[in-house]
Chains A and B, each alone.
Chain A
Amino acid sequence: MNGKGKIMVVEDNEDIRFSVRLILETSGFTVTTASNGQEALDLLREGDMPRLILLDMLMPIMDGWHFAAEFHSLYGHQIPIVVMTAATDAVQRAKDVEAESYVSKPFTIELLLENVERNIKAA
């Protein structure tokens, strides 16, 4: 296992997925990606447990709310979820899904990394 640990990115926008993966890998994380909640649950079921999940809210097939609920009921709160949201009230979004943290879209590389590092340490 790579030094900094694995992060799962659940995001329907392919360009965001690409960018975030690039950023995190450059910073020494291992990254798995899913384009919706269902894909992410499938990956987790295969035993591919990350140290942190970056979660988009609005996705086809299974959205962030559904995924978070499923995830929490299956695996509890050991793994922190960081919500990536474009909503005006990002704090409320994070609370809705009992996420540990959030990043408001659009965000910078620095903001993303800072948030991820802090939440991994805290976990």
Chain B
Amino acid sequence: MVASPWGKVNVKKRHSVSTVAILCLVLVATSVLGAFGYISCLRESEQRWANLRGKLTSSADQLSVALAIPMWNLDRVQIKKIIESEMHDPEVLAVRVDDTGKTYEGGNPAPGNTEQPLSEKHEITFSGEVIGSVEVFVTPKLVLAALSKSRLQFGLLILLVDLTLILSIYLVLWKVILLPLRRLESYALAVRSGGSETSPQMGPTKLTELESLRVSIERMVALLERRFREAKASEEIYKTLFACEPDSLLIIDRDSLHVLDANDAALSMYGYYREEMLERSVLELSAEPEATKSNVVSMHPGNLIRSATRKNRRKDGSVFPADISIRAFMLHGRVALVTAVRDVTERVMAENALYAAKENAEAADKLKSQFLDVAAHELKTPLTPLLLLLQLVQRNGDNPSALTPEIWPRINRQLEHLNGLVNDLLEVSRLDLGLFAFRPQFVDLNELVSQSVDDFRRMVTDRKVTLARSIAPLEVELDPVEIKQVLFNLLDNAAKYTPPLSPIEVAISPSGGRRVKVSVTDHGQGISPQQQKTLFTRFFRVTSSATRKHSGLGLGLYVCRRILELHRGSIGVESDVGQGSKFEFEIPISRTAA
């Protein structure tokens, strides 16, 4: 969680501004007033003490003067009278008069009080002769009482002033500073607690500093609110983008390579639950971890890797190709990588398919060129004798020589050969263009095969064709013309590639699932495994045109395959070089059962 700019105010450790301010002001006021009071008290005390001493001296002086005559006259009554009158003064504690051996006392000079009485002793002289002495004792009690009274007054005054000061300052502070500050604080709290739209309004204050503070705080808050709203909006946008992005997005820590965040697309693409995905190393998501690592470790903020196709690994271990774009940025002081991953399996498959199609097309094109070459060559083969034979007939036109009857059958034979080649070409065109009139009907397969074998035996007399039947007469739904064509092609091939008198075996046998199969086996040169692969494609012939020993356009097996496809059947070959070949086709007994 990001620390709030206001933080948490620790109330206990800190002191209110007002308390501190008031304490300071009160301290200053108290010490000023205290100093002033102390000095005043000191002065008053000095003055009072001086007054007291002055009074003592003057009393002693007056007494010594007043007592001189009565003492001279030994008028004791008068002396006592004077002493008593002196005793009326509350400050006079005692008066002691010594008259050469005789003492007159008034009051008690040591009444047991703690205050040490002040005393002054004066000699009494009369006509220049010392006749006695007078000693006056005064008590400082009254002075001390007066002094403590005035101290008390001062103390009270200071207290009063302090209280007034505290009260007035507090009131002023409250009104002028604390209240606006409280408002600011509650405003800040309101902003912090979620940027409420109705922020408490701070009233204007009368102090310019506070006013400008208030204004700047309001501006700052407005700015913060705007920033906050913008940040929140931008966060919402990015959150939504991150979640809704159809491409997988991963946030990765560059140094640890751990996944910090992943969107739903990434989770479903890699097959992990969110908890499994987070903190997983990105290397576990790659099928080429070394390449991924070396790509990523050197990335710095701002660096970009665009669309590198890498193999990725799902949780179940399956591997898929993906386009990866990576951008590095700073996140909480570390380098993070935002990685977009797009599954390109379909594209790669399409590319592969396209590439295969191109290869196929090129191969087909090459095959077609070769075929054209072969076809032209094959068509020239009957044309050459035809041209010569016709020229010979033409030359002897008016005078038919003895040889003419020998020439005509040759011309016929070559024309038939030419016709056969043209028919082969037309057959392929017909099958490829879909102009084929397919007419299936229920025919006894045994009968059909033995007819074909018989026909072939009549045409090719130097090969031994045997027929083995392992099924009872069986009606099979097929186009008899086309299946006869297939059989003829297979037998013709077998004859072409086997030496004379080598046996050719034809067999009919049941196959599983209401199907029946027919095989033609020879003991000729055989077909290499490589050639077997392309045997049933168009224009194929076992030997290349340059070394070929047999005529033909190489269309026979392709035609067979197409015919059997129409019958929902199939054709295949088993062969070993030098051992011979076994061609076998299979068709369903009924097309509806296929």
Residue of A nearest to B548 (CB): A58
Which residues of A are found within 8 Å of B389, using beta-carbon distances? 15, 19
Asked if B203 is an interface residue, CB under 8 A from chain A, the answer is: no
Q: How far, in angstroms, from A84 to B413 measured CA to CA in the complex? A: 21
Task: Give residues 545-588 of B contacting A (CB, 8 Å).
Answer: 547-550
Residue B384 contacts which of A60, A86, A87 (CB distance < 8 angstroms)? A86
Contact B413–A15 (Cβ < 8 Å): yes
Size of the chain B interface, CB-CB below 8 angstroms: 24
Query: Could you give, for residues 367-403 of chain B, a 1 whenever the CB lies within 8 Å of some chain A CB and a 0 otherwise?
Result: 0000001001100110111111101100100000001
Q: How far, in angstroms, from A15 to B410 measured CA to CA in the complex? A: 6
Residue A88 contacts which of B376, B386, B391 (CB distance < 8 angstroms)? B376
Contact B391–A109 (Cβ < 8 Å): yes
Residue of A nearest to B545 (CB): A58
Contact A106–B549 (Cβ < 8 Å): no
Q: How far, in angstroms, from A48 to B380 measured CA to CA in the complex? A: 31
Task: Give the interface centre of B384, B389, B403, B406 by most chain A CB atoms within 10 Å.
Answer: B384
Asked if A120 is an interface residue, CB under 8 A from chain B, the answer is: no
Asked if A13 is an interface residue, CB under 8 A from chain B, the answer is: yes
Task: Give the shortest distance, in Å, between B547 (CB) and chain A (any CB).
Answer: 7
Which residues of A are found within 8 Å of B549, using beta-carbon distances? 58-61, 63
Contact A105–B383 (Cβ < 8 Å): yes
Q: How far, in angstroms, from A76 to B384 measured CA to CA in the complex? A: 30
Which residues of B are found within 8 Å of A105, using beta-carbon distances? 380-381, 383-384
Asked if B45 is an interface residue, CB under 8 A from chain A, the answer is: no
Q: How far, in angstroms, from A15 to B381 measured CA to CA in the complex? A: 10
Contact B388–A23 (Cβ < 8 Å): yes
Contact A106–B391 (Cβ < 8 Å): no
Contact B385–A15 (Cβ < 8 Å): yes
Q: How far, in angstroms, from A86 to B410 measured CA to CA in the complex? A: 20
Which residues of B are found within 8 Å of A63, using beta-carbon distances? 547, 549
Contact A109–B373 (Cβ < 8 Å): no
Contact B414–A106 (Cβ < 8 Å): no
Residue of B nearest to A19 (CB): B388
Task: Give the shortest distance, in Å, between A58 (CB) and chain B (any CB).
Answer: 6
Which residues of B are found within 8 Å of A106, using beta-carbon distances? 380, 383-384, 386-388
Query: Could you give, for residues 11-25 of chain A, a 1 whenever the CB lies within 8 Å of some chain B CB and a 0 otherwise?
Result: 001011011101100
Which residues of A are found within 8 Å of B385, using beta-carbon distances? 13, 15-16, 18-19
Contact B410–A22 (Cβ < 8 Å): no
Which residues of A are found within 8 Å of B403, using beta-carbon distances? 22
Residue of B nearest to A66 (CB): B547
Which residues of A are found within 8 Å of B388, using beta-carbon distances? 16, 19-20, 23, 106-109, 112
Residue of A nearest to B373 (CB): A88
Task: Give residues 19-59 of A contacting B (CB, 8 Å).
Answer: 19-20, 22-23, 58-59
Contact B381–A13 (Cβ < 8 Å): yes
Contact A86–B381 (Cβ < 8 Å): yes
Residue of B nearest to A88 (CB): B373
Task: Give residues 422-448 of B contacting A (CB, 8 Å).
Answer: none
Which residues of A are found within 8 Å of B414, using beta-carbon distances? 15
Query: Could you give, for residues 354-374 of chain B, a 1 whenever the CB lies within 8 Å of some chain A CB and a 0 otherwise?
Result: 000000000000000000010
Q: How far, in angstroms, from A16 to B551 measured CA to CA in the complex? A: 15
Task: Give the shortest distance, in Å, between A109 (CB) and chain B (any CB).
Answer: 5
Which residues of B are found within 8 Å of A23, using beta-carbon distances? 388, 392
Which residues of B are found within 8 Å of A112, using beta-carbon distances? 388
Q: How far, in angstroms, from A86 to B384 measured CA to CA in the complex? A: 9
Task: Give the shortest distance, in Å, between A33 (CB) and chain B (any CB).
Answer: 14
Residue B410 contacts which of A18, A60, A84 (CB distance < 8 angstroms)? A18
Q: How far, in angstroms, from A107 to B386 measured CA to CA in the complex? A: 10
Task: Give the interface centre of A19, A60, A108 by most chain B CB atoms within 10 Å.
Answer: A19
Q: How far, in angstroms, from A109 to B380 measured CA to CA in the complex? A: 16
Task: Give residues 88-134 of B contacting A (CB, 8 Å).
Answer: none
Task: Give the shortest distance, in Å, between A46 (CB) and chain B (any CB).
Answer: 25
Task: Give the shortest distance, in Å, between A99 (CB) and chain B (any CB).
Answer: 16
**Which B residues lie at the A interface, using CB under 8 A?**
373, 376-377, 380-381, 383-389, 391-392, 395, 403, 406, 410, 413-414, 547-550
Q: What are 28 of the A-B contact pairs (CB < 8 Å)?
A: A13-B384, A15-B385, A15-B413, A16-B384, A16-B388, A18-B385, A18-B406, A18-B410, A19-B385, A19-B392, A22-B392, A58-B548, A58-B549, A60-B549, A61-B549, A63-B547, A84-B384, A86-B380, A86-B384, A88-B373, A88-B376, A105-B384, A106-B383, A106-B384, A106-B388, A108-B388, A109-B392, A109-B395
User: 10 closest pairs, A vs B, by CB?
Assistant: A15-B385, A19-B388, A86-B380, A106-B384, A60-B549, A105-B384, A106-B383, A106-B387, A16-B385, A15-B410
